[in-house]
């Protein structure tokens, strides 16, 4: 139940929230905008249209899109199996899915390096197959896939738990096949959660830094994502490039968050 603000206590609480949000969000955004245009619009435009920046953004989007597609399929299947089936080791698998939340992305990148590096456990096998994982895009994809693992599963699981079994039973009684039951009865109830989970996964994949830095190496033009481009620009004191890239990445993130919030409100109303 919502109530209007009354009394000095309510206004004080509102002021604290505004100051808190402003300090953590509005102030950094204002600093980015100011830094991006300090040297003028022409230099900001040059940074925005530079080839290294466009290459890094394109690589980030490519990795994020592939990760979202994989998680949409296998993350949804994982949520379905964990919800609808009982088997030995279910609690263990369910717990392992939350490891990416607790594990540092840098550690994730290092573990992949120990697996697929030249002296890693699987390094000789990859070399014999002529497949380069470490310091290449495949390794960055695996790292991003790992850190974004829980989002789709955790978003789909409560929705699958709330599915109405009576509709599935009624459709089966009328002679509908399992495939038709899925597409016409089950999928419409999962659609909003699926899109919401994909949105969160895309945002997480787009902003990944630590894991892709360690496993990819941040080689300009090859394994440099947008976040690594910002890191390199700051390290080389190319502040305008870093600020402009950060604003673009921030705009992407804000749009994704707004989309996810709209989907969440829609789902709560349905």
Tokens standing for residue 1: 């139940």
Cα separation, 48 vs 54, in Å, equals 8
Confidence of residue 267 (pLDDT cuts 50, 70, 90): low
* Average pLDDT, integer, range 97-118: 91
Q: Model confidence over 43-86: pLDDT tens digits?
A: 889 988 999 999 999 999 999 999 999 999 999 999 999 998 88
Above 70 in pLDDT, residue 167? yes
pLDDT score recorded for residue 255:
84
- DSSP assignment of 130-198 equals T---TTSHHHHHHHHHHHTHHHHHHHHHHHHHT--HHHHHHHHHTT--HHHHIIIIIHHHHHHHHHHHH
Average pLDDT over residues 255-263: 79
Give the residue-averaged pLDDT of 8-19: 82
Q: Pick 262 or 245 by higher pLDDT.
A: 245
How confident is the model at residue 1, as a pLDDT?
Answer: 53
Q: Quick check: 269 pLDDT over 80?
A: no
Write the secondary structure of 185-237 as one string of H (helix), E (strand) and C (coil).
HHHHHHHHHHHHHHHHHHHHHHCCCHHHHHHHCCCCCCCCCHHHHHHHHHHCC
């Amino acid at each position: 139940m919502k109530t209007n603000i009354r009394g000095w206590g309510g206004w004080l609480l509102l002021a604290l929230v505004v100051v808190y949000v402003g300090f953590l969000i509005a102030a950094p955004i204002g600093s980015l905008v100011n830094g991006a245009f300090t040297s003028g619009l022409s230099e900001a435009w040059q940074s925005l249209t530079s080839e290294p920046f466009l290459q890094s953004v394109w690589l980030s989007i490519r990795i994020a899109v592939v990760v979202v597609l994989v998680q949409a399929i296998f993350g949804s299947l994982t949520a379905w199996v964990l919800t609808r089936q009982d088997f030995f080791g279910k609690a263990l698998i369910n717990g392992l899915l939350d490891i990416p939340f607790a594990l540092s992305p840098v550690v994730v990148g290092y573990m992949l390096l120990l697996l697929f590096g030249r002296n890693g456990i699987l390094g000789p096998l990859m070399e014999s197959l002529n497949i380069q994982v470490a310091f290449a895009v495949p390794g960055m994809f695996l790292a991003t896939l790992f850190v974004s693992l829980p989002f789709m599963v955790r978003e789909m699981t409560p929705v699958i738990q709330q599915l109405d079994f009576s509709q599935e039973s009624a459709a089966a009684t009328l002679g509908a096949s399992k495939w038709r039951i899925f597409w016409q009865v089950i999928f419409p109830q999962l659609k909003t959660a699926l899109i919401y989970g994909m949105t969160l996964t895309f945002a997480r994949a787009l902003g990944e830094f630590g894991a892709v830095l360690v496993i990819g190496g941040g080689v300009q033009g090859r394994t440099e994502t947008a976040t690594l481009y910002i890191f390199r620009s700051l390290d080389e004191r190319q502040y305008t490039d870093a600020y402009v890239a950060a604003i673009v990445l921030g705009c992407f993130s804000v749009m994704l968050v707004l989309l996810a919030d709209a989907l969440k409100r829609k789902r709560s109303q349905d």
